[in-house]
Amino acid sequence: MPTSTYPQATVNNLIATTISDWHKEFADNVSNSNALLALLKQGGRIRTVEGGKDINTPLTYAEETMTWYSSNELLSRALKETISEATYAPANAAVSVTLDGPTIAKNSGRAAILNILEGKMDNAQVTMNNNIAKCIYGDGTTPKTFPGLLAMVTRDGNGTVGGIVASATEWTFWMNQFQAVARATGLQYPALKAAMNALWLKLVRGTEHPDLIVADGEIYGTYESGLQENQRYADARLGSLGFETLKYKQAAIVYDAPATGLGPGSDPTKSGAYYLNTKYFKFEVYSGRNFEALDLPDQSPDMDAVTKHIAFMGCLSMANRALQGRLFATGT
């Protein structure tokens, strides 16, 4: 159809409809692009939040007073100070998809415009994937983002997570586990394996144990090099989504570059591996902003372009910090 007979309103409607149709695929692709989010999705732990200022997450821990007694002994009624929930503030983001007027004019017709939109949407997904991954592995210090694993699972177990301050003297139940491994002319497999075993034992509570280990290149490569060929089992859950995985006990080990980005010039305090019990994580996304188009004007009167904004609002939350661990290497 010639440009002159293809009205602007029709173009706007085509763009809006196309973006709406892409909503589920967009959300699925963002979730499947990250190992932690992929497991949360498989476990039904990507939760839609209907409203509210912040996200309150009930905690899983044993802190109340328990008393053994016999016969008619008096039971304690003393009120013990405890914390029952962590509070997480959601972050807001939007990726913009814009088609300028000259491009629309040069590509008259439905098929041509849809072809341009497909490229724009592919790029928007990659953009959102990369930036959500940075948040999942970040510490929340980038303005307006949400805290991720770097803040939630630290190298000393300390830190404020969900509004709760954890240290050796304050709310110790909220400290994560951690384990160092010393390099000796580089990281060696025997030392790494011993440290991995030590951290694993700190995180086992009956049938509870980590199910995902996200490692940097140094730890993943050293672990892989120490295995015999017949020991290199892959994890079927993540392998089917294209992740390169190994198995360690009952957990999948995944190399994910955004997790720590170990390499020349990188920050060594961000290197290592996360031992995660994903049962206690949720990816919280607000209704209407689950990678959906915002209801905003398509055009500005002083700009020859059509724009749609695809929105995200949410954060990563955690209910039990004591069952998460951080492994890191020291020395040279």
Residues 230-241: tens digit of each pLDDT = 666 777 788 777
Output the pLDDT for position 316.
Answer: 97
pTM: 0.86
Output the pLDDT for position 331.
Answer: 87
Rounded to whole angstroms, the Cα distance separating 229 from 235 reads: 15
Q: Is the pLDDT assigned to residue 266 strictly greater than 60? A: no
More confident residue, 80 or 140: 140
Amino acid at residue number 326: R
Contact (Cβ atoms closer than 8 angstroms) between residue 125 and residue 183: no
Q: Is the pLDDT assigned to residue 65 strictly greater than 90? A: no
The share of the chain scoring above pLDDT 70, in percent, equals: 90
**Nearest 5°: phi and psi at 311?**
-105, 150
User: Can you read off the two tokens belonging to residue 130?
Assistant: 């990369």
Confidence at 263, pLDDT banded by 50, 70, 90: very low
Q: Give 197-202 contacts, CB < 8 A, sequence gap 24+.
A: 199/275, 199/325, 199/327, 200/248, 200/249, 200/275, 202/177, 202/325
More confident residue, 130 or 160: 160
The share of the chain scoring above pLDDT 90, in percent, equals: 47
Output the pLDDT for position 5.
Answer: 46
Rounded to whole angstroms, the Cα distance separating 174 from 319 reads: 10
Of 44, 36, 81, 126, nearest in space to 316 by CA: 36
Mean pLDDT score, 55-72: 82
Mean pLDDT score, 117-135: 88
Query: Burial, 230: exposed, middle or buried (Cβ in 10 Å; 0-12, 13-18, 19+)?
Result: exposed
pLDDT digits (tens, 9 = 90+) for 151-172: 999 999 999 999 999 999 989 9
Mean pLDDT score, 199-223: 94
Q: Is the pLDDT assigned to residue 330 strictly greater than 60? A: yes
Output the pLDDT for position 190.
Answer: 95
Give the range among 89-93, 121-125, 145-149 with minimum mean pLDDT.
121-125
Rounded to whole angstroms, the Cα distance separating 60 from 86 reads: 10
Sheet holding 177-182, edge to edge: 177-182, 325-330, 273-276, 212-215, 251-255, 245-248
CA-CA-CA-CA torsion sign (266, 269, 272, 277): negative
Report which secondary-structure segment, H or E, holds 164.
Answer: strand 164-166
Q: Is the pLDDT assigned to residue 265 strictly greater than 70? A: no
Output the pLDDT for position 306.
Answer: 83
Output the pLDDT for position 236.
Answer: 74
Confidence at 174, pLDDT banded by 50, 70, 90: very high
More confident residue, 124 or 16: 124
Rounded to whole angstroms, the Cα distance separating 164 from 160 reads: 5
pLDDT digits (tens, 9 = 90+) for 2-44: 444 456 667 777 777 777 777 777 788 888 888 999 999 999 9
pLDDT digits (tens, 9 = 90+) for 310-328: 999 999 999 999 999 999 9
Output the pLDDT for position 268.
Answer: 66
Longest dimension (CA), the chain: 92
Q: Is the pLDDT assigned to residue 259 strictly greater than 50? A: yes
Output the pLDDT for position 262.
Answer: 43
